[in-house]
Amino acid sequence: MKTRNSFRVFIPVIIAVLALSSLSFATFPTVSASRSGEPTIAVISAPTKANPGQKLTFTWEIDGFGRISHTAVHWDTKPGNPADYKSYANATPDFASINPPDLAPKRYTATIEAPQSGSIFWIVHAILDGFDTYNMEGQGIIPVGTPNAAIVPRSVPATASPGEKLTFGWEITGSGKISHTAVHWDTKLGNPADFKSYAKATPDYVAIDPPHDAPHGYSVTVEAPQGTAMHYVIHAIVDGKDLYITGGERVITLKVASVAPVEQKPTPAKETTTQGAGVDNTTLMLAAGAAIVVVAVGVVAIARRKKSA
């Protein structure tokens, strides 16, 4: 009776031991050396095309877990190996060395400047807990083209008078973000490829915030300066790039105001006397009167002498 009861007491113990034994031999997933399927890089936003010299912004997020000691956009103008970041000549420097490391998940943003031509081949790479991780999309390609925006004059004066109000009208065609546009001018020659070489500029659209979307039209007024000519260019900044009116510098001829001739009034003739006489008419009359008196006195004197004789 005691033996049977003792066996009943040990039955739960035996079951528990067997359960623990089965757990000790269970197979659990292990982390492989490649960390496959764990942290991932998801590109949130990236450009699909670019103009020469344009600033390009990339945003990506590192998901999963781990310590992030490096991440960057690695890029080149020729194709690379999307599984080897060293095959790309350039990399964004912002997060090249993160110390202390960031903890995943974490979002990053970096900017590069587009080359003058060709294409940009790029990947996003990170190092988590000492392991390389790449963006899931593989190598991206961004073609670099030329800006398709242009400045088209609509109404520009050819001649003017100093002080006259001059109206300039133009349109920026194509596409892009317009952050500045103006008529840059001077009374002397400037460099049509450098708006800073002109002393003056119309202030109306010097800083456009938020930027306008092309196509967009503009009109400004300028008072014609004093002088003989007004030299100008129309300039804009579209997608961060300088844009100028085609044909180079333009010139407005300034008309010089004509001066009315002064009316010449006739000058009255002055009375003149004979230079040889050296005296005027009054003097001559006095002299003649004195001579008559002298003659009269002489006649009287002669007559008296005759009577006394």
Span 258-276, average pLDDT: 55
User: Using 50, 70 and 90 to split pLDDT, how confident is the model at 32?
Assistant: very low
State residue 156's pLDDT score.
87
For the chain, the average pLDDT equals 82
Could you tell me where the beta strands, DSSP code E, fall in 129-268? 131-134, 140-143, 150-155, 159-160, 165-173, 177-186, 200-201, 212-213, 216-223, 229-238, 241-244, 250-254
Span 48-73, average pLDDT: 94
Least confident piece of the model among 19-23, 56-60, 142-146, 221-225: 19-23
Helix (H, G, I), strand (E, B) or coil at 286: helix
State residue 38's pLDDT score.
79
State residue 212's pLDDT score.
95
**pTM of this structure:** 0.44
- Exposed / middle / buried, residue 59 (Cβ in 10 Å: 0-12, 13-18, 19+): middle
Domains by residue range for the chain, with CATH: 40-143 (2.60.40.4060), 150-254 (2.60.40.2470)
Question: Is it the case that residue 261 has pLDDT exceeding 70?
Answer: no
| Residue 13, H or E segment | helix 2-24
Span 129-136, average pLDDT: 95
User: Using 50, 70 and 90 to split pLDDT, how confident is the model at 149?
Assistant: confident
Span 176-203, average pLDDT: 94
